[in-house]
Amino acid sequence: MARINMSDVLELSVPERVRLAQAIWDSVESSAEAIPVTKAEREELDRRWEAYQRDPEAGFSWAEVKAELLGRQ
């Protein structure tokens, strides 16, 4: 595997760095099964899923969260 120096990355334009970050994320996402989930993480996921199943309306929609976050700017 070729090594990339951080100084080389920082010489890229912002749009190029964003594309690089997206490409890296896409490569990680396509191998998600290779990322182990700990017992504690699995238990937390199960707890949250069960809570959602009991009351799907208890949380907030992405639109509500996004509006709240953008309103803080």
User: For the segment 18-45, what is each residue's pLDDT rounded down to a tens digit?
Assistant: 999 999 999 988 887 888 899 999 999 9
What's this model's pTM, rounded to 2 decimal places?
A: 0.48
Distances from the Cα of 58 to the Cαs of 28, 35, 41, 53, 69, in angstroms? 31, 30, 21, 10, 19
Mean per-residue pLDDT of the chain = 92
Residue 29's pLDDT is what?
Answer: 83
pLDDT of residue 33: 83
**Confidence band (pLDDT; 50, 70, 90) for 65?**
very high
Q: Biggest alpha carbon distance in the chain?
A: 51
Domain layout of the chain by residue ranges: 1-35, 36-73
Residue 73 confidence (pLDDT): 66
